């Protein structure tokens, strides 16, 4: 009952495909068809794994070229694109009234 209510209010979570699937959909479908014909499952799994890793390999090669040419600005832009922005950890302090998490409250404590 609770689950039905949450689905009614929020809707179902939609599964989003990863970038590599959309970019290489035709290649992946051909590999799966070849698997049905040949039955060589391990080779198909390896080929699909290579397709999945290809975007990361391209970004790594590009970052390596920036590092070799000593273009550090573009190198760090590429590193941040791969790893995402840094998040600052929010520290919390316990008090008698509960947990303090805002910087001002922590300073007062």
Read off the pLDDT of residues 26-57 as tens digits, 9 standing for 90 and up: 777 777 777 766 677 777 788 878 888 888 88
Read off the pLDDT of residues 88-99 as tens digits, 9 standing for 90 and up: 777 777 778 888
Residue 26 falls inside a structural domain = yes
Domain count, the chain: 1
In Å, how far are 15, 33, 43, 62, 91 from 49, measured between CA atoms? 20, 16, 10, 20, 39
**Is the pLDDT assigned to residue 101 strictly greater than 60?**
yes
**Is the pLDDT assigned to residue 72 strictly greater than 80?**
yes
If one counts every other C-beta atom within 10 angstroms of the C-beta of residue 88, the result is 5
The tokens 């919390």 sit on which residue? 92
Q: How far apart are CA 31 and CA 47, in angstroms?
A: 8
Q: Give the range of the structural domain holding residue 100, as residue numbers without chain letter.
A: 18-108
In Å, how far are 9, 11, 34, 104 from 2, measured between CA atoms? 11, 13, 46, 39
What pTM does this model have? 0.47
Residue 6 falls inside a structural domain = no
Residue 7 falls inside a structural domain = no
Residue 3 falls inside a structural domain = no
pLDDT (0 to 100) of residue 67:
92
pLDDT (0 to 100) of residue 21:
55
Read off the pLDDT of residues 55-69 as tens digits, 9 standing for 90 and up: 888 888 999 999 999
pLDDT (0 to 100) of residue 87:
73
Q: Is 93 helix (H, G, I), strand (E, B) or coil?
A: strand
Residue 88 falls inside a structural domain = yes
**pLDDT level of residue 71 (50, 70, 90 thresholds):** very high
Residue 34 falls inside a structural domain = yes
């Amino acid at each position: 009952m609770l689950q039905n209510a949450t689905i009614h209010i929020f809707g179902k979570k939609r599964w989003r495909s990863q970038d590599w699937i959309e970019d290489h959909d035709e290649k992946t479908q051909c590999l799966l068809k070849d698997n049905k014909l040949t039955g060589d499952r391990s080779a198909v799994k390896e080929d699909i794994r290579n397709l999945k890793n290809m975007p990361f390999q391209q970004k790594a090669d590009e970052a390596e070229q920036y590092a070799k040419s000593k273009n550090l600005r573009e190198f760090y832009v590429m590193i941040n694109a791969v790893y995402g922005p840094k998040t600052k950890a929010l520290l919390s302090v316990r008090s008698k009234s509960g947990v303090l998490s805002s910087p001002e409250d922590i300073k007062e404590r």
